[in-house]
Amino acid sequence: MRIAVIGSGYVGLVAGACFAELGHQVISVDNDESKIARLQAGEVPIHEEHLPQLLAKHHGKGLEFNGKLMEAVRACQVIFIAVGTPSTEQGTADLSHVEAVARTVALAIDEYKVIVEKSTVPVFTSEWIRKVMLLNGVPAEQFDVVSNPEFLREGSAVRDFLYPDRIVIGADTERSASLLREIYQPLTSGSYYSRGTIPSLIEAPPSPQLLVTSTKSAELIKHASNAFLATKISFINAVANICEAAGADVGEVCRGIGMDARIGSKFLNPGIGYGGSCFPKDLKAFASVAKELGYDFRLLDEVMGINERQRQLFLRKVRSALWTLKDKRIAVLGLAFKGGTDDVRESPGIDLVKSLLKEGCAIRAFDPAAMQRAQEVLPNAGITYCESAYEAASQADALLILTDWQEFATLNLSRLRNLLTYPIILDGRNLYDPTTMASEGFIYYSVGRPNLQYPSIRTNADLAVTENALMSIKSRSSHAVASS
Ligand code: NAD
């Protein structure tokens, strides 16, 4: 199948590379000329596992990059729209990029094509695209509009695309539905899994189910899925706050409720809240579309409110751990909105760094992939970008873990303790076990779990652990005094 993917960002580029991997002929289009030039030169503009491998394998064979949308539309049977749909100031989805693409597609169409919404869009968008086509003189029989929402997660996007739980196709005609079925046939038949280059994480992965719905239902499936996942995150964060107040351990609570098959253990990870380019904007868009349709979806307002407050609570925790913040030297591990990506859009880590800078802290930051993108959105003054977690920790008054990168969960703790001026760690992603951290001599704060510090000392064991940590502080302070 000849496929055009319009928009070569986190979704479009991965989709284009994966369609080529499935054996299709793909033209990946973008209106950002510099991005297309970099892709044509063999560069990989985003950090995503397995993407470099797929681009190297297919570029110049099943995959080409082109800045000319009209040319790509004429050459292809199916056109996937994967451009950004950011929030407007009012919280609705800004569909201007989708509309711009639809208008150009309308000018280029000369025979039957299927236009596919891959971008996350509100319900009724397919009808708007249809209207744009008709208003621009495209005969109704020359096109269909299909919704094929994307459920990939940054950080595991390639694997998510090739080994999805399900494929949703919102199509109002059988002709368009069968073209989409054909595109995904290597996955639904399982034939890809015997020859693909990207291995599954599990042995003998099941073929995904393909669900055909109306276009409107498919559009709603995407918004409702993201809203549900965000709700799960905010719910467990709210529970974590109660655990903290009660002196319980949210890790134990998560295990207990996650064992219920109706609830499941995934997405029960308490922390500093969700971020990224999807959940925040999609929740706002879903709430606003619901309002337009006459339903006040107040549950979503609360989900967003809890998420916002979660960052503030963490900031308060930093304040209470360090007393005053002005002139404190803070090591920050993680700037990306989640591990495995360089994407910093709506990153809780970026937000917290901005707040700490406002309070007069000096930041020593490290992220394995997102440093360059972080520099584009953070102020210049007050931040030193470091080459490793250990360099960031060097002589810092405290260390903050803000992104769940796997490598942050396996740090050399004794090296870290020796580098920090004070052995204080505030873990916004619950990557470590509090007891281990205390036995390693840290004063360790996490989310929804008991902190080992003076007010919460209840047993002799707690006291011993805390005294260890305090002795370590004292010896480091006297060392600092002696060396100055
Ligand atoms: P992105 O900003 O990374 O990429 C969008 C790309 O579209 C950019 O490269 C931009 O230059 C290009 N573009 C904009 N207007 C264009 C035009 N008129 N012609 C050609 N190219 C154009 O965005 P993204 O993260 O890839 O998200 C794209 C869509 O997919 C959004 O609707 C998003 O909600 C949805 N989505 C994203 C994810 C994710 O994890 N990022 C997951 C599922 C769905």
Domain boundaries defined on the chain? 2-213, 222-307
CA of 9 to the centre of ligand 1 (A): 5
Residues of the chain with pLDDT under 50: 454-458, 462-463, 465, 473-474, 476-484
Residue 201 confidence (pLDDT): 86
Determine the Cα–Cα distance for residues 193 and 403; give it in Å rounded to an integer.
Answer: 32
In ligand 1, the atom with minimum distance to the C-alpha of 7 is 7
Going by alpha carbons, the residue nearest to atom 42 of ligand 1 is: 152
User: Which residue, among 402, 363, 355, 369, has the nearest Cα to 381 in the 3D structure?
Assistant: 363
CA of 30 to the centre of ligand 1 (A): 10
Q: Is 152 near ligand 1, meaning CB less than 6 Å away? A: yes
Q: Is 12 near ligand 1, meaning CB less than 6 Å away? A: yes
Two tokens at 238?
Answer: 């709210």
Tell me, which fold does domain 222-307 have in CATH? N-(1-d-carboxylethyl)-l-norvaline Dehydrogenase; domain 2 (1.10.1040)
CA of 347 to the centre of ligand 1 (A): 17
The residues annotated as belonging to the active site are 278
CA of 26 to the centre of ligand 1 (A): 17
User: Which residue, among 322, 296, 303, 340, has the nearest Cα to 429 in the 3D structure?
Assistant: 340
Q: Is 82 near ligand 1, meaning CB less than 6 Å away? A: yes
In ligand 1, the atom with minimum distance to the C-alpha of 281 is 34
Going by alpha carbons, the residue nearest to atom 34 of ligand 1 is: 120
Residue 194 confidence (pLDDT): 85
Q: Is 31 near ligand 1, meaning CB less than 6 Å away? A: yes
Going by alpha carbons, the residue nearest to atom 2 of ligand 1 is: 84
Beta-ladder partners of 25: 2
Q: Is 6 near ligand 1, meaning CB less than 6 Å away? A: yes
Going by alpha carbons, the residue nearest to atom 44 of ligand 1 is: 150
Q: Is 97 near ligand 1, meaning CB less than 6 Å away? A: yes
Going by alpha carbons, the residue nearest to atom 27 of ligand 1 is: 84
Q: Is 120 near ligand 1, meaning CB less than 6 Å away? A: yes
Q: Is 84 near ligand 1, meaning CB less than 6 Å away? A: yes
User: Which residue, among 173, 154, 148, 124, has the nearest Cα to 288 in the 3D structure?
Assistant: 124
CA of 112 to the centre of ligand 1 (A): 25
CA of 18 to the centre of ligand 1 (A): 16
Instruction: Tell me the whole-structure pTM to 2 decimals.
Output: 0.92
Q: What's the CATH number for 2-213?
A: 3.40.50.720
Mutate to test the pocket of ligand 1, among 11, 30, 154, 158 (most ligand atoms within 8 A of CB): 11
Two tokens at 324?
Answer: 């005053």
Going by alpha carbons, the residue nearest to atom 11 of ligand 1 is: 32
User: Which residue, among 248, 49, 225, has the nearest Cα to 154 in the 3D structure?
Assistant: 49
Largest Cα separation within the chain, whole Å, is 84
CA of 81 to the centre of ligand 1 (A): 9
Q: Is 11 near ligand 1, meaning CB less than 6 Å away? A: yes
Rg (CA), the chain: 25
- The three-state DSSP-derived secondary structure of the chain is CEEEEECCCHHHHHHHHHHHHCCCEEEEECCCHHHHHHHHCCCCCCCCCCHHHHHHHHECCCEEEECCHHHHHHHCCEEEECCCCCECCCCCECCHHHHHHHHHHHHHCCCCEEEEECCCCCCCHHHHHHHHHHHCCCCHHHEEEEECCCCCCCCCHHHHHHCCCEEEEECCCHHHHHHHHHHHHHHHCCHHHHHCCCCCCCCCCCCCEEEEECHHHHHHHHHHHHHHHHHHHHHHHHHHHHHHHHCCCHHHHHHHHHCCCCCCCCCCCCCCCCCCCCHHHHHHHHHHHHHHCCCCCHHHHHHHHHHHHHHHHHHHHHHHHHCCCCCCEEEEECCCCCCCCCCCCCCHHHHHHHHHHHCCCEEEEECCCCHHHHHHHCCCCCEEECCCHHHHHCCCCEEEECCCCHHHHHCCHHHHHHHCCCCEEEECCCCCCHHHHHHCCCEEECCCCCCCCHHHCCCHHHHHHHHHHHHHHHHHHHHHHHHC
Residue 195 confidence (pLDDT): 82
The answer to whether domain 2-213 and domain 222-307 are alike in fold is no
CA of 13 to the centre of ligand 1 (A): 9
Q: Is 101 near ligand 1, meaning CB less than 6 Å away? A: yes
Q: Is 342 near ligand 1, meaning CB less than 6 Å away? A: no
Mutate to test the pocket of ligand 1, among 6, 277, 286, 344 (most ligand atoms within 8 A of CB): 277
Q: Is 35 near ligand 1, meaning CB less than 6 Å away? A: yes
